[in-house]
Amino acid sequence: MPVPILKQGTYLIASIQAAMSDTDAQRLQDDLMEQVGRFRSTGIIVDVTAMDVMDSFAARSLRTISHMTSLRGAATVIVGIQPEVAFAMVQLGITFEDITTALDLEEGLAHLNRRGTGVGRTDGR
Amino acid sequence: MPVPILKQGTYLIASIQAAMSDTDAQRLQDDLMEQVGRFRSTGIIVDVTAMDVMDSFAARSLRTISHMTSLRGAATVIVGIQPEVAFAMVQLGITFEDITTALDLEEGLAHLNRRGTGVGRTDGR
């Protein structure tokens, strides 16, 4: 099932559903890259609240999305990582490295608003 | 073919054509450094819209330009990285680290205008 992407002002919000197949992840990458160009988006929020598992493929996809979109001038924030998921990620050694994360959608939007717009940095800051 | 450099106010705009040889990259570095001093430029935009490939040498040249010119007080923004190029860069692990990127020329100019002028930071911010 493709991940729905909402456009809100200059931001894009993608809400990942409970399970994200590898195909969905790939498609999410392509869709976000396409929409960043089309809507001149400066920020992307990927909401993973509904995900009950974050495997290494999903984590890598999110890292790729963050790096690719920052090269196009959009900052990505991952929001809603559940406590169990965070625990499992740390135990399994899955890291988001330099990707920005926030507690929930609200904090993610606040971060993007504070950050200003239209300029990417590949180190994710 | 040398990369053309336009002067627009206190900014310099370099538009890289489809293919940039290693010699062109070297010359672009020298030309930009010379012109930053001559025109007292405070911002540089390197437009890579026409590039369909970003190899590690080209990326390193752009990083070098950004760091060198920031030591002379000019901020560099790379604009127009195409989606395919961004994807390939991420896959190949080629990063711009702390270089500022923006969607296109317009966003790049907006960033330089917001940033204010005449003060460089070697981390590119």
Structure tokens given for A48: 């993973």
Q: If you average pLDDT over residues B18-38, what whole number do you get?
A: 90
Q: Would you state the pLDDT for residue A117?
A: 55
Q: If you average pLDDT over residues B61-71, what whole number do you get?
A: 93
Edge-to-edge strand list for the sheet holding A100-102: A5-8, A11-15, A43-47, A75-79, A100-102
Structure tokens given for B7: 């002067």
- Map out the domains of chain A as residue ranges: 5-115
pLDDT in tens, A41-55: 999 999 999 998 888
Record: contact A33-B111, CB cut-off 8 A: no
Q: If we measure between CA atoms, which residue out of B46, B25, B62 comes closest to residue B109?
A: B46
d(C-alpha A30, C-alpha A65), whole Å? 9
CB atoms within 10 A of CB A53: 13
Q: Residue A44: beta bridge partners?
A: A12, A76
Q: Would you state the pLDDT for residue A119?
A: 61
CB atoms within 10 A of CB B35: 18
Q: What is the CATH number of domain A5-115?
A: 3.30.750.24
List CB contacts (< 8 A) between B114 and chain A.
116
Record: contact B103-A67, CB cut-off 8 A: no
Record: contact B98-A122, CB cut-off 8 A: yes
d(C-alpha A10, C-alpha B77), whole Å? 20
Q: What is the DSSP string of A46-101?
A: EE-TT-S---HHHHHHHHHHHHHHHHTT-EEEEE---HHHHHHHHHHT---TT-EE
Return the higher-pLDDT residue of A62 and A121: A62
Question: Which among A69, A70, A116 has CB closest to B114?
Answer: A116
List CB contacts (< 8 A) between A122 and chain B.
95-99, 101
Residue B71 has pLDDT above 70, yes or no: yes
Question: Which among B79, B85, B101 has CB closest to A70?
Answer: B101
* pTM for the full predicted model: 0.83
pLDDT in tens, A14-28: 999 877 888 999 999
Q: Would you state the pLDDT for residue B119?
A: 55
pLDDT in tens, A51-69: 988 888 899 999 999 999 9
What ipTM is given for this predicted complex? 0.79
In this structure, the dihedral spanned by the alpha carbons of residues B12, B121, B40 and B109, taken in order and rounded to 10 degrees, is 30
Average pLDDT, chain A: 89
List CB contacts (< 8 A) between A119 and chain B.
77, 100-102, 107, 111
SS3 A59: helix
Amino acid at A109: L
Confidence of residue A124 (pLDDT cuts 50, 70, 90): very low
**B118 DSSP 8-state letter:** S
> Checking phi first, is residue A114 left (phi over 0); if not, alpha (psi -120 to 50) or beta?
alpha
Record: contact A73-B124, CB cut-off 8 A: no
d(C-alpha A6, C-alpha A2), whole Å? 13
Record: contact B98-A72, CB cut-off 8 A: no
Q: Would you state the pLDDT for residue A120?
A: 60
pLDDT in tens, B78-123: 999 999 999 999 999 888 878 999 999 999 999 999 887 555 555 5
